[in-house]
Chains A and B, each alone.
Chain A
Amino acid sequence: MSSANFNNTNASARPWFERLDRIDRRWIFLLMFLAVSGPILWIGVTGKTLPEAPTMAARAVFEEIDHLPAHSLVLISFDYDPASAGELQPMATSLVRQCAAKNLRMVFIALWPLGNQVAQQTIQDVIRDDYPALKEGDDFVNMGYQAGNEAVMKLLLTDFAKAFPKDSRGEATSNIPMLKDVKMASNFPLLISVSAGYPGSKEWVQYVISAKNDEMNFVTGCTGVSAPQLYPYFPQQIAGLLGAIKGAAEYESMVNASLAVDGVATAPKYLQAQRRMGPQLVAHLLMVGLIIVGNVIFFARKRRGAA
């Protein structure tokens, strides 16, 4: 559908499909805004979310974490910034929540400069607020951001302390109790990356997992744009994959179900992804409708041309 290009002299004489073809695209923007904002208001007022049926890739993420024995070390890389938080923060929150509930020892790192801040915020929202018994340095530690992209990943393969010589508080890695036996990346049985692009999940597969696939497992959550590039790695190189907000909603529902307590409602901050599936549904229906209308216009014009 083209942008505003009106020729009012013959507007009423044009066939219906040509009038539709020349509709001002701003009407479509308005429809999309209504399609997104309507469900947000409805879900915001009623608190109801859509049911989720977890797919194999999301189930695999849950099971990889669930099968780890308590106190296992998990390396969690925050490879995104606030620009992608709308899509990735819900899955990061649920991943950290499941690890904290399983009593796993979490080591947070960031290969994106602002990844450190989003990791810090997630630690505050999940660990400090809901799992206050977990102690920094013993049960979790934020190693902060390290510049160098793939070079940091390569260094992690051989010397963890060299890649991250101190944590975000300035404490030397050698003085952190939970890291005393950590020499290299393969000392972590599980690597988790929440990734918005480069460097991220793809680079973790290429530089770390391809070298240590038999020693450590890798699960990842990624943006919708990068998900199609990562699916070929599943399940051999990526053991579990959360593709975009849909994957996040599926995983979130599994974590919530596993940690549900009778008579206690799940905290709203652990329902972010499922809340965002409402606008997804209506916006996708609109997109499908627009694609069908576009095709109908195309074939109607073709038919008229042939006639």
Chain B
Amino acid sequence: MTRQGKTWLIIGAVFVALLVARGMIGQGLGRVYVKRSEVIVKLPASSTSAATISWQEWKQVPPLEFDAAQKANPAQTEISFSWPRTIGLWLAAFFTLAIFSFLYADNPFYKIAESLVVGVSAAYWGVIGFWDTLVPKMFGALTPGLVKSLVQPSLLDPENMQQISMVFALILGVMMLWRLLPRGGWISAWPLAFIVGVTAGLKIVSHVESDLMAQAAATMKPLVVSVTDASGAINIWASWWASVANVLLVVGVICCLAYFFFSVQHKGVVGGAARVGIWYLMITFGASFGFTVMGRIALLAARVEFLFDDWLWLIDPNHFRGL
């Protein structure tokens, strides 16, 4: 056995031993309980079948609720232990740890988790594309009767223009797929040109409005601001800080623009402004980095909280188990 193999074996053995020990202390390890409820829906009067339909729903409940129900009536079956959801919980914990294990070194557990994420994501997007776009929008417009009777009874009748536009979309879709054929791959350039044209048209107008005009207007601020309080008197400190904020904003915009203005050599006043612009940019990048770190730590904290709370039952911040 290689040195790395031995290390993994030791880590795995220690981990399993800790898990078993945790399972034997106190309330044990993560379990999921569900509560059964009956859903009864009244069908419209026009329906030819039964007047109502009903089914059972299972809602996850805190273990505390299961304990209370068991104490009240040990024979109750309304709230029960759920094997499928408990297995799901343990799988979620396993895959979380499998992904984290990459931080130590690449390994088969990480590879399995990674492959599963890629496979499930691809399949999920395929299903979403089919059921949320192709079926209701394309087939639902072209063959509404068939879609209604087979898969989506609640489908609304398409408008006439919708059918015509979907015929156009279908033709473009077929043209796009033409590139898979050995000949005539150039035909797919036409729908691509359509997509590029429409996207550019949509984006140019909105970007000019929101990112150029509105932002330019937002930069035109008074450099000296007087802030008055409720009694009408000028608040000197608030006025001072509001003025400083506006000055910093206007100077920042001008200096950053100077840095990206390459038609004049960065010397003298322009060079000085460009240097100040670099400082502004560096501070911006620092703020972006700080926000990114904050976001990533929040995600890590959520996963660690899941492991400690839902899986290991070490903590109980939501008071689900009455620890």
Contacts and interface: CB of A to CB of B under 8 A. Distances in A.
Nearest to A281: B297
A121 B202 CA distance: 33
Given A224-B294, A244-B295, A276 B302 contact: yes
A259 B305 CA distance: 26
B222 to A, nearest CB: 15
Interface stretch (A41-49, A100-108, A134-142): A41-49
Contact of A244 (B217, B298, B304): B298
A165 to B, nearest CB: 5
Contacts of B287: 228
Contacts of A78: none
B227 to A, nearest CB: 13
Nearest to B124: A113
Contacts of B132: 113, 145-147
A224 B314 contact: no
Given A145-B132, A150-B202, A280 B304 contact: no
**Residue from A33, A211, A228 having most chain B Cβ neighbours under 10 A:** A228
B103 A36 contact: no
Contacts of A223: 295
Contacts of A26: 103-104
User: In the complex, which range does the number of interface residues on chain B fall in?
Assistant: 35 or more
B317 A245 contact: no
Interface residues of A, number: 56
A167 to B, nearest CB: 10
A44 B313 CA distance: 11
A43 B299 contact: no
Interface stretch (B14-22, B32-40, B208-216, B266-274): B208-216
Contacts of B314: 41, 44
B206 A37 contact: no
28 contacts: A26-B103, A26-B104, A29-B103, A32-B300, A40-B301, A40-B304, A43-B317, A44-B315, A45-B315, A84-B299, A87-B299, A87-B302, A113-B128, A146-B132, A147-B129, A147-B132, A211-B209, A224-B294, A236-B214, A236-B218, A237-B218, A243-B291, A268-B319, A276-B298, A280-B298, A280-B301, A283-B297, A284-B293
The 3 closest A-B pairs by CB, nearest first: A44-B315, A86-B302, A224-B295
